[in-house]
Every structure is written in structure tokens, then in C-alpha cells.
Amino acid sequence: MLPRFQFLRPRSLPDAFAAFAATAGDAAWIAGGTELLQVMKMGLAQIGTLIDVKGIAELHGLRADEDGALTIGAGTTHRVIERSPIVREHLPALAALESEVANIRVRNTGTIGGNLAFAEPHSDPATFLLACNTSVHLVGPRGGRDLGIGEFILGPLWTAREEDELLLSIRIPAAAPGVGRGYAKFAFFERPAASVAVCLAVEDGIVTQATVAVGSLTDVPTVVLRAGDLLTGRETRSGTLGPSLGRTVDVFDDLDIVADHNGSADYKRHLAGVLLGQAADLALTEALARA
């Protein structure tokens, strides 16, 4: 059972901030509510007022900017991103990822902004967006500011967002020619036990740069520099990287992997090694297609 609370539906950002201020901080923003309402049902959060921001126009919209970057309103649902022709053209790996988030009910209701702002350690989008050098735009009564995903997510269920700030949008930089991005995960039920995202650049048949991020292994999505170094310099003319990576589990030795109901630290480290090869091959396929 949900506890009793006040429910407000402002239609503009100034009205939303005024409503929040009137509660003296005893309020939370809600869009899809797929995570927040579950926490409240379990009695893990007592919130006097929920402020529904779905009706605020500035939180919606999805576009490719002139420079090819994608800007996505924080109130955009996973399902809209999954089915968007713009996303499928400019960033097919994100559309593929979104098609496997949780279940169809969550994808129809849950939003990209809510997912990131909740900072659940097993988030699919956060890991991928970290590898893509994504930034988030926050806005509040004192103005707006931009943060990278790594600066925004500080810990489990903890972000750099001030209580009265809203996550307004995310911006994913365009991929240059020869750049590809891929994501692979292993999941029990609806949350990944381990996930790996790869962004790499290919020039003259060689990987010239690579960024690797892992999720569901540590408290926050994490860039693994040793894994990126492992990919850099690899020859790509065979069209695959996975078989050449060898015992990739070693590159994750420095991670403080959290053992949980999905498995031990050693098991999850092994999963990450397998997933690195899969994500790298997906990224390579896109990079070669874009060369």
C-alpha cells in the first residue's frame, strides 16, 4: 500500500519550482514513477508531496542537432527512444539497448531522466551513456548547469542533483566517421548482472581509441581504462575483436566488484570479460559501417 501524499501537476518550470518551494523540501519529482513508487510501497521513503512533471513541455522532445549530437528530453520514455527513427539512424545501439530495458510496461512508462536520476546501480542506460561521453542538463531556481554522467551519478541512489533541481535533458555527442558504439549485458530476470559498453574509433584497420564502461559490477557505472587500452591498437580487418581479446577478465582486476544475489565478484568479473568481447564486436561492426 502507498502512504498518503499530496499530488501536484504543474505545467511549467516556474510553477514546478514554486510548488517544490512551498513544500519546504518535503517533495519529490515524478515522471514515470516506475522506481520511486516501488520504493514508497516498500516503506523505504516517506514523501509528503509528489510533483508530476510529465506535463512540462521542456522535458520532452528528441532531436538530432546540427552537429549530429542527440538531445533527448528527460521526460522521454524508454519506448519512445527505442522506436525513434532518429535514434535508430544516429545511435542504433541505444535503440537496441532500450528495447531490452526491463519489460514493456516499464518501457512505456519509465523515462530516461527518471532512470538516470534514480541512480539504480543496475541501470542499462547509465553505463552505455557513460561510454558515449553523455552530459545531462540540470535546471533549478538558480539556473541551469551541465554535468557528465560520471560527475552526475555519485553512488547508489545518489546523484549530484540538488533536491529542487530537475534533470531537463541529456546530450549524446555525435559519432565521427569510423566510430562505433556497442552494449552487451547478461541479465537474470529484468536487471543486468553485468554489462559492458564500448565506444571505439577505427582508422586504417586499427582501433585508434576505445572507451569501455561497466555496469552492475560496482556501485556506479565505471570507465575501465585498462579495458580501453586492451582494445586500442587492435587490428580489425577480420571484422571481429572478440576472439583476439584472450583472458580479458584480467583488465577488471582493479575493480572493487560488489558480490550480490547475481553472483560472486569472481563470477561477475568473468561475465564482464565475455561481455567485453561482445560489446567490442558490436561497436566494431558499427564503426566499419560508418568508415
Set of cell numbers at residue 247: 583472458
Q: Are residues 200 and 257 in the same domain?
A: yes
Q: Are residues 47 and 92 in the same domain?
A: no
Burial class (CB in 10 A: 0-12, 13-18, 19+), 22: exposed
Q: What is the pLDDT of residue 84?
A: 98
Has residue 1 been placed in a domain?
A: no
Assign residue 41 the CATH number of its domain.
3.30.43.10
Tell which residue, 248, 244, 245, has the closest CA to residue 272.
248
Span 24-50, pLDDT tens digits: 889 999 998 888 877 777 777 789 999
Span 215-274, pLDDT tens digits: 999 999 999 999 999 999 999 999 999 988 877 779 999 999 999 999 999 999 999 999
Has residue 218 been placed in a domain?
A: yes
Assign residue 237 the CATH number of its domain.
3.30.390.50
Q: Are residues 46 and 79 in the same domain?
A: no
The total domain count for the chain is 3
Q: Are residues 184 and 284 in the same domain?
A: yes
Q: Are residues 36 and 65 in the same domain?
A: no
Query: What DSSP state is assigned to residue 240?
Result: -
pLDDT at residue 156 is higher than 90: yes
Has residue 65 been placed in a domain?
A: yes
Residue ranges making up the domain that contains 18: 6-52
**In the listed set 33, 52, 71, which residue is the last one of a domain according to the structure?**
52
User: Is the pTM here over 0.85, yes or no?
Assistant: yes
**In the listed set 157, 172, 187, which residue is the last one of a domain according to the structure?**
172
Assign residue 61 the CATH number of its domain.
3.30.465.10
Long-range interactions of 96-100: CB distance < 8 A, separation 24+: 96/183, 97/124, 97/125, 97/128, 97/183, 98/124, 98/125, 100/124, 100/185, 100/187
Q: What is the pLDDT of residue 42?
A: 74
Span 68-108, pLDDT tens digits: 999 999 999 999 999 999 999 999 999 999 999 999 999 99
Span 106-140, pLDDT tens digits: 999 999 999 999 999 899 999 999 999 999 999 99
What is the rounded CA–CA span in Å between residue 230 and residue 86?
32
Q: Are residues 72 and 117 in the same domain?
A: yes
**In the listed set 172, 194, 220, which residue is the last one of a domain according to the structure?**
172
Q: What is the pLDDT of residue 189?
A: 81
Q: What is the pLDDT of residue 46?
A: 82
pLDDT > 70 fraction of the chain, expressed in percent and rounded: 99
The amino acid occupying position 158 is W
Q: Are residues 27 and 79 in the same domain?
A: no
